[in-house]
Structure 1
Amino acid sequence: MATELELKLMVHPTCFDKAVQALDAFCVKEVNAIRQPTLNLMNGYYDTQDALLMSSGIALRVRSVNEEYIQTLKTRGVSRVGMHARGEWEWNVPTDALDFELITPDMLPSNLHNKEWQSKIGIVYRTDFERQIWLIDFAGSKIEVVCDRGEVTSPYGHDGISEIEFELKQGDETSLYQAALSLAQQVPLQVCTVSKAQRGVRLKTPIIELPDDLPEDAQHFQIGAYWYEVWLTYWEAMVHREDDSLYQEIETALLNLQNYLPNELSGKIAYLLTIPERLLDPEKPLFLSLSQDTQMGVSMLEIGRWLNLQH
C-alpha cells in the first residue's frame, strides 16, 4: 500500500490554460523540472446502487491508459486541513473487468468483509479527462503536479473536471503548500476537498457534505480547522452550483475562522471579506468574479499551511 498525500486545487475553466502555461514556464526556468507525456484517462468507478462502497469510504475503479488497464482501490483516509492522506492500492489487470481476488480484507472496513456486495457491483459513473503532468523539485522535495480537464458522467448527469493536484513524492509536506502558493500567486486557484469519486456520487445525491461536528473538548486550532473546512466546502459548492447565495455561508465561516488565527492571518480574513464589494459587477455573477481572483486562493493556502503546522 502507498499512502498518497496530495493537495487538490480547483481552477475555473477560463483560467485553466494560464495554469498550464505557468507550469511550462517553470519547467523552462528550472533545471529539475520536467514535463511528462500527456495522458488521456478513461475511468469506470464501481459501486452498488445504494453507494455502499462510497458510504464506507472506498473508491474502486478501473482505469484505461495507453491500452493498458489499472485497477485501483482508495480509502477515504483523513483530510488534513485541506490536504488528503489516504491509502491506495494499484494493480495492472488484463482487461477492464474487476479482479476481486486482488482485494484482501485488510484493505476494507469490517462491513465489507462479507463478499455479498461483489455480486451487486457495477459501473455507476465514469471520469474521462486529459492529464498533463510535471515532475518538479521544489524547496528540496519531489512533487508531481497534474492538471486534469474533462468530465464526470453518469445516468444522473455530468460535471466538469478542471483541477490541479500537487502530490508529494519525496520530502517535506509543507513543500506542497509552497509549490501551490507559487502557482496561485500567478493564476486564480482555490483549495478543493471534493474528489472525482465524490463528484460522481453527488450527480445522484447532490448534497453538501460538511465536516464532522467537533468534540466538546476540541482544541483552539481544531476549531479553526473546522471553520476552514466549512469555508472550503461552501466555496466549492457555490462554484459548482453557480449559486451566489451560498456566499453568506462562506462569510459566516470566515468570520468564525478569524477568531482562531494569529493577527497576520486574521487580517487576511478581514481583507477577504472586502473583496466582494471591490469585485461587484452587475453583469457578472459573484462566484465567477471571486473564482477568477487570486486573493481568495492565496489566503486559503496560507491559512491551510498554518493550520497544518499546528498539528
Structure 2
Amino acid sequence: MATELELKLMLQPEHLTSVSDFLDGICAQSEIDGQSRQPTLSLMNAYFDTDTASLMQGGMALRIRAVNSQFIQTVKTRGSNRVGMHARGEWEWFLPTDRLDLSLLSEVILPESLQDMAWSRELVEVYRTDFERQVWNIVTEDSKMEVVCDQGWVTSPYGKDAICELELELKEGQEAALYQFALQLAEQVPVQVSLVSKAQKGVRLKYGQIEFPDQPSYIANQTELASYWYEVWLVYWEAMHFMQDEALMQPLRHSISQLKTCLPNELMQILDNVEHTLEQHLRMDEEVVLTKLASMKQIGIAMLKVGQWLNQKTG
C-alpha cells in the first residue's frame, strides 16, 4: 500500500496552454536530474460500485484503468484528514484483462462496513472517465513531485461532467513543497484549490449531492473551525462552477466571513480583499461573472495561502 498525498487545483480550459508552457519552461531551464516532461497519456478509468453506492458510502473507490494497452486495478480508501489536500490509502495491481480480480482485495485494509464482501456480488460499472494526461516530474531543493494536467470527461447514464485540473502529488520530501510550488504556479496562471476527486464527480452525476465537510463540535478550537470554514469555501466554489449557479455566491461569501474570524491578521486582510472583489463582481452580467472570477489569480492565491497556513498549524 502507498499513501497518496496530493494537492488538486481547478483550471479553466482556456488556461491549459499557459500551464503547459509554464511547466515546460521550468523543466527546460533546469539542469536537475529527474526533472522533465514525460510522455502524454490517454487514460480510461471504469469505476465500480453497487446500485446503492455501498463503496462510496464506505469511503472506498474501485476502478480499472486502461493505459497503453495495460490494465491496472486500483483501490483507494479515505485516509487521514489533511486540510485542502487528499491523503488516501492506495493499492494497485496490473491485470491481464479489463476484468476485476476481487481476490486481490485480500491485501486491502477495507473499511469496516465493507469487510464482509457481500457487496462484491452486486458490482456494476457506474461511471467512467476518459481524459488526456500531461505529466511533469518536478524536483525542488528537498522534494520530488509529479505534476499532472488532466482534461476530459466523466460520463455515466446520468450525464457527464468536464475534467480540467492539475494534481500535484508528493513523491518524496516535505509536504510544504506542494504549497510552495502551487503558489509559484498560481502567480502565473489562475487556478483554485479543489477537494472534488474524479470519483466524487462520477457519484455526483447520479445523486446530485454536494459533499460538505463534517461540522466540528461546539468545543472546537479556532484551528478546527478555520479548517471547517475553509473547506466549506472550497466546496461552494467548485459547486458554483459545476452547477453554473452564481446564487451560491451568498453562502460562499458567508463561509469566507466565518473563516476570517479564525485567521491571523495577514490572512484576514487577504480575505478582505477577496470579499471586496466578489462584491464588485456581483454587479456584472450573470453570463460572464463565473468566467471572470475563475480567471482571477487572486482567488487561487488566497486559497493556497490559507491552506498552507492551516497545514502548518495542523501538521
Give the TM-score of the pair, scaled to structure 1. Answer: 0.97
Q: Secondary structure at the match of 1:28?
A: helix
Report if aligned partners of 1:39, 1:130 keep a CA contact under 8 Å in 2: yes
Q: Within 2, Cα distance between the matches of 1:227 and 1:257?
A: 5
Report if aligned partners of 2:129, 2:153 keep a CA contact under 8 Å in 1: yes
> Which residue of structure 2 lines up, in the alignment, with residue 190 of structure 1?
192
Q: Secondary structure at the match of 1:36?
A: strand
Q: Within 2, Cα distance between the matches of 1:252 and 1:87?
A: 33
Q: Within 2, Cα distance between the matches of 1:139 and 1:50?
A: 47
Correspondent of 2:306 among 291, 303, 306: 303
> Which residue of structure 1 lines up, in the alignment, with residue 61 of structure 2?
59
Report if aligned partners of 1:6, 1:166 keep a CA contact under 8 Å in 2: yes
Deviation (angstroms), 1:75: 0.4
Q: Secondary structure at the match of 1:72?
A: strand
> What whole-Å deviation, never above 9, does each CA across 1:55-98 have from its counterpart, x for those lacking one?
10000000000000000000022331101111000000100100
Matches within 5 A, 1:229-248: 229-248=231-250
> What whole-Å deviation, never above 9, does each CA across 1:146-170 have from its counterpart, x for those lacking one?
0000000000000000000000000
Report if aligned partners of 1:146, 1:166 keep a CA contact under 8 Å in 2: yes
Query: Where does structure 1 differ by over 3 angstroms across 4 or more consecutive aligned residues?
Result: 277-281
1:292 equivalenced with 2:295 (yes/no):
yes
Q: Secondary structure at the match of 2:226?
A: helix
In structure 2, runs of 5+ residues without a counterpart are none
Correspondent of 1:68 among 67, 70, 80: 70
> Which residue of structure 1 lines up, in the alignment, with residue 224 of structure 2?
222
1:10 equivalenced with 2:10 (yes/no):
yes
1:23 equivalenced with 2:26 (yes/no):
no
1:281 equivalenced with 2:284 (yes/no):
yes
Q: Within 2, Cα distance between the matches of 1:228 and 1:245?
A: 19
Matches within 5 A, 1:107-146: 107-146=109-148
Distance 1:106 1:262, change over 3 A: same
Q: Which moved more, 1:241-250 or 1:107-116?
A: 107-116
> Which residue of structure 2 lines up, in the alignment, with residue 79 of structure 1?
81
Deviation (angstroms), 1:282: 2.4
> Which residue of structure 2 lines up, in the alignment, with residue 40 of structure 1?
42
Correspondent of 2:164 among 142, 154, 162: 162
Correspondent of 1:249 among 241, 248, 251: 251
Report if aligned partners of 1:139, 1:175 keep a CA contact under 8 Å in 2: no
Letter in 2 for 1:25: G
Identical aligned residues as a percent: 50
Q: Within 1, Cα distance between the matches of 2:81 and 2:300?
A: 18
Letter in 2 for 1:227: W
> What whole-Å deviation, never above 9, does each CA across 1:132-189 have from its counterpart, x for those lacking one?
0000112421010000000000000000000000000000000000011111110000
- Count of equivalent residues: 311
Q: Secondary structure at the match of 1:15?
A: helix
Deviation (angstroms), 1:37: 0.5
> What whole-Å deviation, never above 9, does each CA across 1:188-235 have from its counterpart, x for those lacking one?
000000000000000001111111010232111110111000000000
Report if aligned partners of 2:91, 2:108 keep a CA contact under 8 Å in 1: no
Q: Within 2, Cα distance between the matches of 1:252 and 1:155?
A: 35
RMSD value over aligned CA atoms? 1.2
In structure 1, runs of 5+ residues without a counterpart are none
